[in-house]
Amino acid sequence: MAAVRVEAVLAAAEEQEAEKRRSITVEKELELEYDLGNLLAVDRNPPPAAALRGAGPRREALLQALARDNTQLLVSRLWELPAERAGGAGGPLVAQLPEPTFRLPREKPPPKARPPTRWEQFARLKGIRRKKKTSLVWDEQAKEWRRRWGYRRAGGDPSRAWLAEVPAGADPEEDQFARLRREKRERVARNELNRLRNLARAHRAGRAVPAAPLHPTGHQDRDELRQVARVARVSTASLGRFQPRLPKESAEPPSRSGGKKRRFEPLLGNLAAERSRQLELLRDMGSKKPVLDITRAVNKQLRQEEAEAAAANKGKKQSKRGKRGRRQQRPGRSGKKSGARRQPQQQKPAGGGTGG
């Protein structure tokens, strides 16, 4: 008897629950797709086309019923999100929305990292780091803390400087004030020029550069002019072999047959040389020990020592900068300046011809 009553009670409770839930349940053929981050729901069920064809209030009522069902489903989902009371116990109920999943196109392309300026490249190579300067400097004359530069700076207003010392080797007739003013103007102009150059380099780095015009435009830089000069030299009948060279150009013209990799020996030439070369290649491939390229090993070692010295100097503050610096040093390694510095005496390292 008791068991039957318990079952009846449970069944009744379930009935009640179902009643309550009926008001918020919606029957749909296909489940909706939800993107809660965007408060978006997509219903794939085909709407009743025939019923919606006739214009008038019936259509509106149908559309509203459809909208009500879909909104009910979306709101049920939103209400199931983890929610908390913002601002204490009495505050409004706030739900945490997930990230939006629907992919929408961006407004602008993602920002590209700015390529480093000439100074930044040099500093990275040398391991020079920024010295954090204090914003205020003690001014002895005014006996107070003044700005480093700007309004009421520490050294007094430079435009009101009434004394300009004549330096040791200077012409006594020269106007020192005029010289100072001229030098400042030159400095400002040079800085502005460098800033614009860095900007142009950054601008060019992202985009494809159109081919440089072959006549001088006055807006070309060194690399472009070098390219143009090379093209001009090679466009003679003998492909530039008998052209006189400019005073500072390299003496050795680029070999006609190409560099190291584009050189092809004649097919039926020196059989002994060919044989010895093939045997050398097989020997290097078969040997267990790796072939040592002395140039590269020496360069690598020197680079590593330099990086270590820089790291040791700066100590703990290395963290991000150092990693980036060491990673970025690789383009510096193949640069002209560093490559030229480390030229070892040996021209043909042992086994370098085959191993490379």
Partner 1 sequence: LIYCYRKPKTKRAKRFLEKREPKLNENTKNAMLIKGGNANLTVTKVLKDIYAVKKPFAVLYKRKNITRPFEDQTSLEFFSKKSDCSLFLFGSHNKKRPNNLIIGRMFDYHVLDMIELGVEKFVSLKDIKNSKCPEGTKPMLIFAGDVFDVNEEYRRLKSLLIDFFRGPTVPSIRLAGLEYVLHFTAVDGKIYMRSYKVLLKKSGCKIPRIELEEMGPSLDLVMRRTHLASDDLYKLSLKQPKGLKPKKKKNISHDVFGTTYGRIHMQKQDLSKLQTRKMKGLKKRPAEKSAEDGGATPKKSKSA
SS3 179: helix
> What minimum distance in Å lies between the beta carbon of 198 and partner 1?
10
SS3 84: strand
Q: Does 102 bind partner 1 (CB under 8 A)?
A: yes
Instruction: Specify the residue, 111 or 247, whose C-beta has the smaller distance to partner 1.
Output: 111
How far is Cα 231 from Cα 212, in angstroms, rounded to an integer?
Answer: 11
Q: Does 71 bind partner 1 (CB under 8 A)?
A: yes
Q: Distance between the two ends of the chain, CA-based, in angstroms?
A: 96
How far is Cα 108 from Cα 203, in angstroms, rounded to an integer?
Answer: 17
Q: Does 86 bind partner 1 (CB under 8 A)?
A: yes
Q: Does 70 bind partner 1 (CB under 8 A)?
A: yes
Q: Report yes or no: 146 and 134 within 8 Å, Cβ to Cβ.
A: no
How far is Cα 307 from Cα 173, in angstroms, rounded to an integer?
Answer: 50
Window contacting partner 1 (CB under 8 A); options: 62-70, 155-163, 294-302, 317-325: 62-70
Instruction: Specify the residue, 63 or 312, whose C-beta has the smaller distance to partner 1.
Output: 63
Instruction: Specify the residue, 37 or 213, whose C-beta has the smaller distance to partner 1.
Output: 37
Q: Does 14 bind partner 1 (CB under 8 A)?
A: no
Q: Does 88 bind partner 1 (CB under 8 A)?
A: no
What Å distances lie between residue 47 and 28, 30, 73, CA to CA?
Answer: 11, 12, 16
> What minimum distance in Å lies between the beta carbon of 190 and partner 1?
16
Instruction: Specify the residue, 94 or 350, whose C-beta has the smaller distance to partner 1.
Output: 94
Residue 298 makes CB contacts below 8 A (sequence gap 6+) with 342, 344
Q: Does 138 bind partner 1 (CB under 8 A)?
A: no
Of 14, 80, 265, 305, the one binding partner 1 (CB under 8 A) is 80
DSSP-assigned letter for residue 153: B
Residues 325-344 close enough to bind partner 1 by CB under 8 A: none
Residue 292 makes CB contacts below 8 A (sequence gap 6+) with 349, 350, 351
SS3 268: coil
> What minimum distance in Å lies between the beta carbon of 309 and partner 1?
31
Give the per-residue contact string, 160-199, with partner 1 (x = CB under 8 A; - = no): ------------------------------------x--x
Residue 100 makes CB contacts below 8 A (sequence gap 6+) with 35, 37, 38, 40
Window contacting partner 1 (CB under 8 A); options: 13-21, 116-124, 229-237, 273-281: 13-21
Q: Does 41 bind partner 1 (CB under 8 A)?
A: yes
Find, among 275, 333, 276, the residue nearest to 303 by Cα: 333
**Total site size for partner 1, rule CB under 8 A:** 58
SS3 83: strand
> What minimum distance in Å lies between the beta carbon of 36 and partner 1?
9
Backbone angles phi, psi at 302, to 5 degrees: -65, -40
Tokens of residue 306, six digits: 């330099």
Q: Does 52 bind partner 1 (CB under 8 A)?
A: yes
> What minimum distance in Å lies between the beta carbon of 222 and partner 1?
21
Backbone angles phi, psi at 333, to 5 degrees: -65, -40
How far is Cα 170 from Cα 150, in angstroms, rounded to an integer?
Answer: 30
Q: Which residues make up the interface to partner 1 (CB under 8 A)?
A: 19-21, 23-24, 37-47, 49, 52-53, 60, 63-64, 66-68, 70-72, 74-76, 78-80, 83, 86, 92-97, 100, 102-111, 114, 196, 199, 202-203
